[in-house]
């Protein structure tokens, strides 16, 4: 079974619209970490956010916000007032620590291709 | 500080040939990871080095793939002989380790095309 599910394969919006990218995860660990990465057309993976399982406080960073809900095993990402430069593939990922506090492997979702039209 | 560097950025080879990908992690990062994304699918874990030792290589698809990390510095991933299904983007990441706060830093990836 996939540990991270991003059900939306592609999303298209027009500039200035708000858009939410969904992420649902599965783990038996009580301690884990959730991530979002952005992959622009240039190809690199750009770190956006890391959340640990004990911190359910939602976070806002400029036009970006994240909604972490353990009750539904979801870690959704919202872009407010989207811009053309937001066009990219967005990946959600889960890490289950290996041997204590060391980061283990990342389990990625399949990614959501976001296209923002001018 | 310099980021994670991967070389080459692109490689096109014929089926049956050998290709070697290189990753230079951030200096001082003990943990080095290789991942691969085949077209349209999720990014999948290949293996994890701690210094020069393989901590977890359970993601390596088969014995045509060989990863090494000389002296705990840079790492190479060799594919020999390459097959069509090996095409994809190969990412390398490094982390400081010892604490979960440091996170991962990814390289820009190597796009491998086997024809």
CA angle A97-B46-B27, nearest 5°? 70
In this structure, the dihedral spanned by the alpha carbons of residues A45, A46, A49 and A51, taken in order and rounded to 10 degrees, is 30
pLDDT digits (tens, 9 = 90+) for B91-113: 999 988 655 555 788 999 999 99
The distance of A92 to chain B (nearest Cα, Å) reads: 10
Confidence (pLDDT) at B23: 97
Confidence (pLDDT) at B57: 92
Say how many CA atoms lie within 13 Å of A64 toward its Cβ. 14
CB contact under 8 A, A43 and B108: yes
C-beta neighbour count of B81 within 10 angstroms: 14
Strand pairing category for B110-114 and B10-13:
parallel
CA angle A61-A67-A71, nearest 5°? 155
B71/A contact by beta carbon, under 8 A: no
Q: Which of A33, A37, A102 sits opposite B97 (nearest CB)?
A: A102
CB contact under 8 A, B98 and A101: yes
> Which chain B positions have a beta carbon within 8 Å of A103's beta carbon?
31, 95, 97, 100, 102-104
Q: Which of A2, A42, A103 sits opposite B95 (nearest CB)?
A: A103
pLDDT above 60: residue B114: yes
* Four-residue CA torsion sign, A49, A52, B33, B72: positive
Tell me what percent of the residues of chain A surpass a pLDDT of 70: 93
Tell me what percent of the residues of chain A surpass a pLDDT of 90: 65
pLDDT above 70: residue B27: yes
> Residue A89 carries which DSSP code?
E
Q: Tell me how far CA of residue B101 lies from CA of A6, A18, A52, in angstroms.
A: 25, 30, 9
């Amino acid at each position: 079974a996939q540990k991270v599910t991003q059900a939306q394969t592609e999303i298209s919006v027009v500039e200035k619209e708000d858009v939410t990218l969904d992420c649902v995860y599965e783990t038996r660990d009580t301690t884990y970490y959730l991530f979002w990465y952005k992959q622009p057309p240039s190809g690199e993976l750009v770190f956006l956010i890391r959340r640990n399982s004990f911190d359910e406080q939602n976070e806002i960073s400029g036009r970006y916000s994240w909604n972490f809900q353990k009750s539904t095993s979801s870690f959704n990402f919202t872009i407010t007032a989207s811009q053309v430069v937001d066009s990219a593939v967005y990946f959600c990922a889960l890490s289950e620590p290996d041997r204590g506090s060391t980061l283990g492997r990342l389990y990625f979702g399949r990614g959501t291709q976001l296209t923002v039209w001018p | 500080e310099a980021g994670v560097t991967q070389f080459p950025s692109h490689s096109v080879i014929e089926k049956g040939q050998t290709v070697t990908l290189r990753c230079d992690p951030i200096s001082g990062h003990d943990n080095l990871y290789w991942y691969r994304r085949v077209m349209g699918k999720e990014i999948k874990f290949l293996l994890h080095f701690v210094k020069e030792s393989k901590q977890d290589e359970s993601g390596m698809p088969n014995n045509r793939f060989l990863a090494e990390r000389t002296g705990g510095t840079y790492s190479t991933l060799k594919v020999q002989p390459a097959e069509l299904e090996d095409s994809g983007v190969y990412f390398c990441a490094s982390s400081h380790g010892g604490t979960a706060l440091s996170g991962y830093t990814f390289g820009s990836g190597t796009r491998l095309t086997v024809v």
